Amino acid sequence: MKVVFAGTPDFAKVALEAIVHAGHEVVMVMTQPDRPAGRGMQLHASPVKQFALEKNIPVMQPTSLKVAGSYGDEARAALSGLQKLDFDVMVVAAYGLILPQEVFDIAEQAGRAGCLNIHASLLPRWRGAAPIHRAIEAGDLETGIAIMQMDLGLDTGAVIAMNKMPIAANETTATLHDALAKMGALMIVETLNRFAQERSLKSVPQALEGITYAHKIMKEEAKIDWQKDAKVIDLKIRAFNPFPGATLLDGASIIKVWQSSLTDDQLQSEPGKIINITTDGVQLACGKGSVLLTELQRAGGKKMSAAQLAQTLGWKPGQVLN
């Protein structure tokens, strides 16, 4: 199979690696432009681009694919380049750019499989930008991968394949991301192999019930509201690991909260008050119940055990954090 692959972060890179290792020919990689990162704000290539360059796969990096937009010239050049390619299918995974109708027109020409998307949710639940984060934050017990035939809607296309995966009680977005990336890679290779053999793919329209949207994670959401129930706070901490990291305030200092667990202690106290500090962590009161913070990080510092940071900062039981 000759594949055009469109993706940007590590989630997409895992799928691209699997497609290449399965013997399919990737004729072009489309990924977002290099972005400034790190303290020096130097330009860095996406994980997908880095792998493509290692394998000598041509790379295309348009800022936009909208001909009528601010980057119309780039879009026209990208579409022209895509039109000239000889390929069987376009695979999309966390690309980050909206695909216009012109892309579908090219990918859906006779004999081609169109645009196949690897989406990290059990569609129609969690359409949108942050399905892994939102599934954990909502307390879902399971999630999975859907291989979808893309259309112009926001993750509204018919589903070709879907597999489920349980969400563990201590799952974070980081751990679930890695597990789903591996699942998605296996599923897209199976889908490509099937199309190579049968030259067609069966799909089922998404259900009209149970539609939810996984809105983009905003840094403004990171601050913990200690008035909330302990379970809600624990879910948020795990959902926001590794990005953007849930936060609390110690005076004017921002503390990142990376790991936590629920406690059995139902003693009610002022939300945000430190109930106890042990080698296991720092127990904080919530609107209902309490959570045990186990891994923290202050600005400019390294991640460390909550007990260690509490000792460093001089925290004491009875102190209120915001």
- pLDDT tens figures, 55-69: 999 999 999 999 998
Exposed, middle or buried: residue 233 (CB in 10 Å: 0-12, 13-18, 19+)?
buried
Mean of all residue pLDDT scores within the chain:
96
Q: What is the pLDDT of residue 228?
A: 96
Beta bridge partners of 146: 119, 162
The bridge status of strand 25-30 relative to strand 59-60 is: parallel
Q: Give the span between the Cα atoms of 216 and 209, in whole angstroms.
A: 22
pLDDT band at 5 (very low <50, low <70, confident <90, very high): very high
- Tokens encoding 220: 């403004």
Q: Determine the Cα–Cα distance for residues 284 and 274; give it in Å rounded to an integer.
A: 5
The domains located in the chain, with CATH, are 2-214 (3.40.50.170), 220-313 (3.10.25.10)
Q: What is the pLDDT of residue 41?
A: 75
The one-letter code for the residue type at 45 is A
pLDDT of residue 83: 97
Give the distance, in angstroms, between the CA of residue 322 and the centroid of all CA atoms in the same chain: 28
pLDDT at 8 over 80: yes
What is the structure's pLDDT at 268? 79
CA-based torsion, 115, 8, 18, 80: positive or negative: positive
pLDDT level of residue 40 (50, 70, 90 thresholds): confident
Beta bridge pairs of residue 250: 253
Pairing of strands 59-60, 115-119: unpaired
Render pLDDT for 117-158 as a digit per residue (tens, 0 to 9).
Answer: 999 999 999 999 999 999 999 999 999 999 999 999 999 999
Tokens for 308, please give them. 């260690």
- pLDDT at position 37 over 90: no
- Residues forming the annotated binding site? 121-124
pLDDT at residue 265, as a whole number: 78
* pLDDT tops 80 at residue 96: yes
Q: What is the pLDDT of residues 231-256, one digit of tens each?
A: 999 999 999 999 999 999 999 899 99
Q: Is 66 exposed, middle or buried, given 0-12, 13-18 or 19+ CB atoms closer than 10 A?
A: middle
Buried b (16+ CB within 10 A) or exposed e, 155-177: bebebbbbeebebeeebbbebbb
pLDDT at 233: 98
Check residue 232 and give its pLDDT: 97
Is 78 in a helix, a strand, or coil? helix
Q: What is the DSSP string of 89-137?
A: EEEEES--SPPPHHHHHHHTSTT---EEEEESSSTTTTEES-HHHHHHH
> Which residues are CB-neighbours of 141 under 8 A, at least 6 positions away?
166, 167
Pair 223, 248: CB distance under 8 Å: yes
Rounded-to-integer distance, Cα 30 and Cα 129, Å: 18
138-142 long-range contacts (CB < 8 A, ≥24 apart) are: 138/235, 139/231, 139/235, 140/167, 141/166, 141/167, 142/166, 142/167
Residue 226 has which token pair?
A: 């200690």
Residues at the binding site for (6S)-5,6,7,8-tetrahydrofolate are 121-124
